[in-house]
Amino acid sequence: TQLLEQSPQFLSIQEGENLTVYCNSSSVFSSLQWYRQEPGEGPVLLVTVVTGGEVKKLKRLTFQFGDARKDSSLHITAAQPGDTGLYLCAVLNNDMRFGAGTRLTVKP
């Protein structure tokens, strides 16, 4: 069983559409991170959420941490082809564990 379950696994949309991807767990976390990975590159940190119910915005990306600190969502408004990539959620205990990711394709 994965510590972090991400959904959907794949998402293909047209430029300009909105989308939401999810990261769920049965465990409670002190913080949760979202990374984005492009082909041939390592993941790059987008945001860290810490407080239950916290909402953080990064341009057209909105991140929310669930009230119970077990889940998180990433919403993208007016997606652009440059948003294409693998979106990963991760938690840091002593090690750092990742979900399987949502592979997003935004078509022009």
Partner 1 sequence: DTGVSQNPRHKITKRGQNVTFRCDPISEHNRLYWYRQTLGQGPEFLTYFQNEAQLEKSRLLSDRFSAERPKGSFSTLEIQRTEQGDSAMYLCASSLIRGVNTEAFFGQGTRLTVV
**What token pair was written down for 94?**
């002593």
Q: How far is the CB of 19 from partner 1 (least distance, A)?
A: 18
Binding site for partner 1 (CB under 8 A): 6, 9, 30-31, 33, 40-45, 48, 50, 86, 88, 90, 92, 94-101, 103
CA neighbor of 60 nearest in space, from 89, 81, 31: 81
Nearer to partner 1, 13 or 86 (CB): 86
Tracing tokens 């889940």 back to the chain, one arrives at 71
**Helix, strand, coil percentages in the chain from 3-state DSSP, rounded to 5:** 5, 55, 45
Nearer to partner 1, 2 or 77 (CB): 2
Nearer to partner 1, 66 or 101 (CB): 101
